[in-house]
Structure 1
Amino acid sequence: MSVVEDNLPDGVSVEDDGPGIPASERQRVFEVGYTTGEEGTGFGLAIVPEVAEAHGWDVALTDGEHGGARYGITGVDFVDG
């Protein structure tokens, strides 16, 4: 799996080149307990929307450019430093 980071004007996105996530499953991947692996815990992405909400950010899951998944976090206030 390769990861591509793409800075958005008001956030960041991370994209992989894996099999992607069908549109019908995109909300479910953020639920506690969701896993596609036999030994998965289902904790993976469940915390992402909680962290984003705590900071006033938004999270979107879409198709990546190369068939994988793309996670975008927007509404970020960057600080120069």
Structure 2
Amino acid sequence: MGSLSIWHWLIVLMVVLLLFGTGKVSHLMGDFAKGIKAFKKNMAEDDDASMEASAEHPSGSIAGPGVKAGAKEKQQSAAHQG
């Protein structure tokens, strides 16, 4: 009772084809395949590159021990100008 025979699957297939037609089923399967390909492509892309670029240029800075934040900014601006 739990398993379906080949005849059950053939009847189900015939009902689906009668309800939806062969054109809709083929379009549906084509869209499904495109979705799987797009998913695999996005999984294979390297998203770490964008994260590494943002890590190279941090938005803020933290002053080291014994250095005041204002003094560090003055040193950085003097180094960029000179």
Higher helix share: 2
Q: Normalising to structure 1: TM-score of the pair?
A: 0.21
The structure with more radius of gyration: 2
Q: Normalising to structure 2: TM-score of the pair?
A: 0.21
